Structure 1
Amino acid sequence: MWSPFGHVLAEFFPLAVGVAISSTPLIAVLVIALGRSGAVRGAALVLGRFLGIVVVVGAFAAASELFVDLRGSDVALHVVTAVVGVGMMTIGVITWVKRPRGAIAGTPPKWLTSLTRVSAPNAFGLGFALATANVKELALGAGAGVVIGGSLTEPPPTIAAVALFAAIGIVTVSVPVVAVAVSGERIRPRLDRIRAALERSSRTITCVVLVLFGSVLVGNSFL
């Protein structure tokens, strides 16, 4: 039952890293953490993000298991994996082509600047939405779900794999929350510099992540 778990972990780990380095959730949690009661509201966002990742990956894992059962072969699953990978790469290229240039590129979206005043329940909802309503997040989650659902057929290892993927995916957004809770005002200038740097390069990060991990999925589909 658990024998393929290590192989599955090796396959979805790069995708989990891709989720973890997603720039938009990280910028959002940095903005929230730098505001009033930042640690509490930031923790709510992290919790919502964890749940959102679980929902996305779990849904695709369940669909993949059903797909394999209906077809009686994993050949079609490899095709689905390749299609998801190519889709991720395509989205990455489109994102790069349509990226803002000049002064506009360094201007953060208005919804980000308003997060300093967001409530904890709304921060939770935002974390959930960033994991379930973002094209890049859905693509990475779909890839992981296909890998997990296509290789693990029993509920315990499948649930463990989905939870582990989500846990890896929230590592980076958890760090600023813990830093603010532990260090308070001393860490704020450093976090503010990181936030500004991420805002300037968020589109580039998104493009690289999608193309890189999309190619990983395409490569895995031929193994």
Structure 2
Amino acid sequence: MLEVLGSVLPTAVGIAISPIPLIAVILMLMSPRPRQLGLGFLVGWLLGVLVATTAFTLLAGVIPEPEESDGAQPVIAVIQLVLGALLLLLAARQWRSRPAPGEEAELPAWMAKIDSMNPFAATGLAFVLAAINPKNLLLAVAAGSVIGRAELDVPERLTVVLVFGLIAALTVAIPVIAVIVAPNKAATLLSGIRTWLTAHNAVIMMTLFLVLGAQIIGKALGNF
């Protein structure tokens, strides 16, 4: 089980360090209702990651493979090759979309409406960002393909998926907990983090997709 968890750990970290949800939760934590919105976003984010990862874990578990393959998994290998290639394409797209020197990075228009959200809307937004966003879907497929094909019993699979989700939600949980425990100290720090993430969003995501894409392609080659 630990070997499988270690294998999907980089993917969980990749979900965790996505700048857009971090900026979104920081904006919520700087709104007039920081605790309600922050906790709602955290719950939605964790649920989204768990639902997507569980779904692809179940799908991977029923994918047929040749009976005499000497440990090879060609079907999974092809899926991983496609995922890796898509992540590399996303890396190139992020690099091309980076702001020119002197330009300010633009955030999605929906972020301007965060102050007017209620906790249920924050939960729904987080769920969509975690479970339906194409970037996270690719990472959930990558993790699920590993967990679903591993020789684990049901409790072990559930444990790996849960730990995976908790790690993926860690960077959202930390600022929420910080605002609850020490709201005054957290406000200034979160403002600086938001500014930095906004300015470097494209470069962060490009690096993330490049590293994860190369890693998944490496796993695919090992499964042939």
TM-score (normalizing by structure 1): 0.91
CA deviation after TM superposition for structure 1 residue 113, in Å? 2.6
Identity %: 29
Partner of 1:67: 63
Q: Which residue pairs with 1:80 in the alignment?
A: 79
Residue equivalent to 2:115: 116
1:29 to 20, 25, 31: 25
The gaps in structure 2 that reach 5 residues or longer are none
Counterpart check, 1:14 vs 2:10: yes
Aligned to 1:93: 92
**Other-structure match for 1:168:** 167
| Aligned-residue offset at 1:82 | 2.1
In structure 2, the residue matched to 1:56 is 52
Matches of 1:80 and 1:187, distance apart in 2: 42
Please name the residue that 2:194 is paired with.
195
Q: Is the 8 A contact 1:31 1:113 kept in 2?
A: no
SS of the residue corresponding to residue 16 of structure 1 reads helix
Deviations 1:173-196 (A, max 9, x none): 111111110111232011111111
Query: What's the CA shift for 1:153?
Result: 4.9
Structure 1 stretch displaced more, 117-126 or 155-164: 155-164
In structure 1, stretches of 5+ residues that fail to align are: none
Partners in 1 of 2:119 and 2:103 — Cα distance? 30
The answer on whether the counterparts of 1:32 and 1:115 sit within 8 Å (CA) in structure 2 is yes
Q: Which amino acid aligns with 1:31?
A: L
The alpha carbon displacement at 1:103 in A equals 5.7
* Displacement of 1:71: 4.6
**Alignment partners' CA distance in 2, 1:152 and 1:127:** 32
Q: How well do the aligned residues superpose, as a CA RMSD in angstroms?
A: 1.7
The Cα offsets for residues 71-91 of structure 1, whole Å up to 9 and x where unpaired, read as: 545222122222211211112
The whole-number CA distance in structure 2 between the counterparts of 1:30 and 1:103 is: 24
Aligned 8 A contact 1:89 1:215 in 2: yes
Q: Following TM superposition, by how much is the alpha carbon of 1:166 offset from its aligned partner in structure 2, in angstroms?
A: 0.7
User: Which stretch of structure 1 is more off in the superposition, 182-191 or 170-179?
Assistant: 182-191
- Structure 1 residue 117: deviation in Å? 2.6
- Aligned-pair CA distance for 1:122: 0.5
Runs of 4 or more off by more than 6 Å in structure 1?
none
Rounded Cα–Cα distance in structure 2 between residues aligned with 1:145 and 1:7: 14
Letter in 2 for 1:60: F
Q: Supply the AA of the counterpart residue of 2:91.
A: G
Find the aligned partners of 2:171 and 2:187 in 1 and give their Cα distance. Answer: 16
More helix by share: 1
Report the counterpart of residue 107 of structure 1 in structure 2. Answer: 106
Aligned residue number for residue 204 of structure 1: 203
Find the aligned partners of 1:188 and 1:152 in 2 and give their Cα distance: 46
Q: 1:102 to 1:134 in 2, by over 3 A?
A: farther
Cα displacement string for residues 22-53 of structure 1 (whole angstroms, at most 9, x for unaligned residues): 11110100000111221221111111011111
Q: How many residues align?
A: 218
Aligned equivalents of 1:198, 1:29: Cα separation in 2: 12
* Matched-pair contact (CA < 8 Å) for 1:33–1:42: yes
The answer as to whether partners of 1:85 and 1:218 remain within 8 angstroms in 2 is yes
